[in-house]
């Protein structure tokens, strides 16, 4: 990912911007919809773990 503004920023500022962008990406991946999918997978596996299925 290149940016024309990056050439004007000192290297430490560019690393801060990149770190911030990665943090935002992690937060965006942790949405309620994703949490719901994880719960659905967990509840689908519970009967297998308890031994209720087959």
Tens-digit pLDDT profile for residues 13-40: 888 888 888 887 777 666 666 656 666 6
Residue that is written with structure tokens 């773990």 in the block: 49
Residue 42 has pLDDT above 70, yes or no: no
Regarding pTM above 0.85, the answer is no
Let me know if residue 41 belongs to a domain. Answer: yes
Q: Does residue 2 lie within any of the structural domains? A: no
Q: How far is CA 39 from the centre of its chain?
A: 16
Residue with tokens 């209720």: 52
21, part of any domain = yes
Q: How many domains does the chain fold into?
A: 1
Domain annotation covers residue 1: no
- How far apart CA 43 and CA 47 sit, in angstroms, is 8
pLDDT for 40 equals 66
């Amino acid at each position: 990912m290149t940016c024309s503004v990056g050439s004007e920023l000192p290297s430490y500022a560019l690393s801060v911007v990149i770190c911030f962008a990665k943090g935002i990406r992690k937060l965006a991946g942790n949405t309620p919809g994703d949490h719901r999918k994880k719960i659905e997978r967990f509840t689908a596996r519970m009967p297998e773990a308890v031994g209720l299925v087959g």
